Amino acid sequence: GAGVSQSPSNKVTEKGKDVELRCDPISGHTALYWYRQSLGQGLEFLIYFQGNSAPDKSGLPSDRFSAERTGGSVSTLTIQRTQQEDSAVYLCASSSQLTSGRGEQFFGPGTRLTVL
């Protein structure tokens, strides 16, 4: 498919375990974003990649959260020692260069994380 894909779609884990969430952006999109959305809430920005580098990590809520992007494509968001407050839907989005396109973000279906 041509859209943003995320895996897994659902993840249930026990408190204290580590989890990895994956995002495959639209081919050719250089920018990639991670957001978190708690039930009934807005989007909380986590981190933004331009290529493989992350110029803005300001939204990561704690040092338990980290993200990487390799080959300018796939990104992985890792949460270590998960806590119950980490339960949320994690959304990934990608966009083309703002300077050369409309810059709109295209969102993946999200990963619903539940920490028991």
Partner 1 sequence: ELKVEQNPLFLSMQEGKNYTIYCNYSTTSDRLYWYRQDPGKSLESLFVLLSNGAVKQEGRLMASLDTKARLSTLHITAAVHDLSATYFCAVSWGKFQFGAGTQVVVTP
Q: Give contact residues for partner 1 (rule: CB under 8 A).
A: 33, 35, 42-43, 45, 48, 56, 91, 93, 98, 102-110
- Closer residue to partner 1 (CB): 14 or 53: 53
CB of 25 to partner 1, least distance (A): 14
Measured CA to CA, the distance from residue 82 to residue 15 in angstroms comes to 5
What ranges in 1-116 are assigned the alpha helix state H? none
- Closer residue to partner 1 (CB): 10 or 83: 10
Q: Tell me, what DSSP letter sits at residue 26?
A: P
CB of 58 to partner 1, least distance (A): 9
CB of 44 to partner 1, least distance (A): 9
Specify whether the backbone of 61 is left (phi greater than 0), alpha (psi in -120 to 50) or beta. Answer: alpha
CB of 90 to partner 1, least distance (A): 11
Q: Tell me, what DSSP letter sits at residue 25?
A: P
Give backbone dihedrals phi and psi of 84, rounded to 5 degrees, phi first. Answer: -60, -30
- Closer residue to partner 1 (CB): 19 or 31: 31
Q: State how far the alpha carbon of 13 is from the alpha carbons of 16, 36, 43, 55, 81, in Å.
A: 9, 17, 22, 30, 10
- Closer residue to partner 1 (CB): 77 or 93: 93
